[in-house]
Amino acid sequence: MSNPVREHYEKYPYPSYPLFLLGSWKDLERVDLDRWGLNREARDLWIVGCGSISALMFGRRNPRTRILATDLSSTSLRRLRMRLWLHGVHNVRLEQDDFLNSERVNDFDAIDCYGVLHHIEEPKTGLHKLARALRPGGVLRLMLYSMRARAEIEKLRSRVQALKIANLKTLTAWMDDEEIARLGELSSASGLADALLHPLVHVFDEHKLRELIDSEKTLEVVKLEEKSNFILTMRKNS
Ligand SMILES: C[S@@+](CC[C@H](N)C(=O)[O-])C[C@H]1O[C@@H](n2cnc3c(N)ncnc32)[C@H](O)[C@@H]1O
């Protein structure tokens, strides 16, 4: 069955990053599972919608954890597999999978779903799947687009959609004509495609976020940051 989100990420794997580059140990603090407030060792981690690099970071920083990294996009997984091989990271298993079809129950101590739930039709259904796959006491990290942080990008994306611009070449030509600066996430091809050519995006304000959180009774929020987008850490009831 056709899936516009999968087709998008087959064409524009995310993020784009030179294959040989490795972040510093300090840069990996945010993916250090010992800092996620889990009251035990994380034996099993699921990275949902892993894209082309995050599993390399988790694998390096958490060498004793068994990691399953899944994504819709075979292109992203191919790049990730190459990175893991190049950098000698062996504790990550990759699978091409739509997590909405997952039947996993109580399988993971930790789940990372960073920048993914806002790209599915019904985020509440996705959150329920993730909660079910967590073990009691396990933690989930979510990143969701904030309406405030995405306001300008979403305005631009609406214009791009109204003009039916569907590829990077036409997009960059249009931006040049309109003198729209390509800064920040708009400065790389994959960032530009992710921001402006994406077929399915939800953005959250406090109310929508609260509705999403309240829809899943087995999870409680232990940390909520809104530096730019929302980053939540949630724990499953024991
Ligand atoms: C914006 S990228 C984020 C990648 C990664 N989490 C990161 O932070 O670098 C979103 C990723 O989610 C994947 N994705 C979207 N919907 C998915 C689904 N239903 N099942 C599995 N992966 C999905 C996409 O293929 C894409 O690689």
pLDDT in tens, 92-122: 999 999 999 999 999 999 999 999 999 999 9
What band does 2 get if pLDDT is binned at 50, 70 and 90?
A: low
Q: Which residue's CA is the closest to the ligand 1 atom numbered 19?
A: 98
Mean pLDDT for 186-193 is: 92
Of 31, 113, 36, 17, nearest to 71 by C-alpha is: 113
Q: Which residue ranges have their beta carbon within 6 Å of ligand 1?
A: 5, 9, 14-15, 49-51, 53-54, 70-73, 76, 98-100, 114-116, 119-120, 194
- According to DSSP, the residues that pair with 1 across neighbouring strands are none
Residues of the chain with CATH 3.40.50.150: 4-146+202-236
Q: Which residue's CA is the closest to the ligand 1 atom numbered 13?
A: 49
**Phi/psi of residue 194, each to 5°?**
-65, -40
From ligand 1's centre to the CA of 33, what distance in Å? Answer: 20
Please report the pLDDT score of residue 42 as a whole number. 97
Please report the pLDDT score of residue 16 as a whole number. 86
More confidently predicted of 81 and 183: 81
CB-side exposure of 26: number of CA atoms within 13 Å?
Answer: 0
From ligand 1's centre to the CA of 141, what distance in Å? Answer: 14
Architecture of the 4-146+202-236 domain: 3-Layer(aba) Sandwich (3.40)
Please report the pLDDT score of residue 23 as a whole number. 79
Q: Which residue's CA is the closest to the ligand 1 atom numbered 14?
A: 49
Mean pLDDT for 40-65 is: 97
Is 141:232 a contact under the CB 8 Å cutoff? Answer: yes
Residue 1 has pLDDT above 80, yes or no: no
Residue 19 has pLDDT above 60, yes or no: yes
Report field, pTM of the whole predicted structure over 0.75: yes
